[in-house]
Amino acid sequence: MIELIIKKHLEKTLKVPVYLEKEDNMPDSYVIFEKTSGGQKNQINSASFAFQSYAKSMYEAGKLNEELKAVVFKLQWSKEVGGVRLNSDYNFTDVTTKNYRYQAVFDITY
């Protein structure tokens, strides 16, 4: 399952916890990601993933987002991944809860 490959890779490299879904009592800084779409052509899988970097300030969330992007790009050197492309990244602060976060969307071939 590509999600587990990505999660293990992020956990080895990032200094913050990595989750596939929200849990009770989340820490101040963490990354959560989900598969937003997927497909297959000629038995080659591809999917889009949204990675959200949370932190106590907008600056820290942006900084974590930059670290995250560098780590995700390194997935392309993994034997399970064929390609990594950054689709977009942006400030994604939740205005209702005042949770600072950035979101980076990657297209990953595996």
pLDDT in tens, 25-63: 999 999 999 999 999 999 999 999 999 999 999 999 999
CATH class of 2-109: alpha beta
Count the alpha carbons within 13 Å of 85 in the hemisphere toward its beta carbon: 9
Q: How confident is the model at residue 9 (pLDDT cuts 50, 70, 90)?
A: very high
Rounded CA-CA distance 78/8 in Å is 12
Rounded CA-CA distance 80/77 in Å is 9
Please name the residue that has the structure tokens 């899988």: 45
Percent of the chain with pLDDT over 70: 100
Q: Where are the domains of the chain?
A: 2-109
Say whether 60 sits in a helix, a strand or coil: helix
Residue 99 is classified by DSSP as B
Rounded CA-CA distance 12/53 in Å is 16
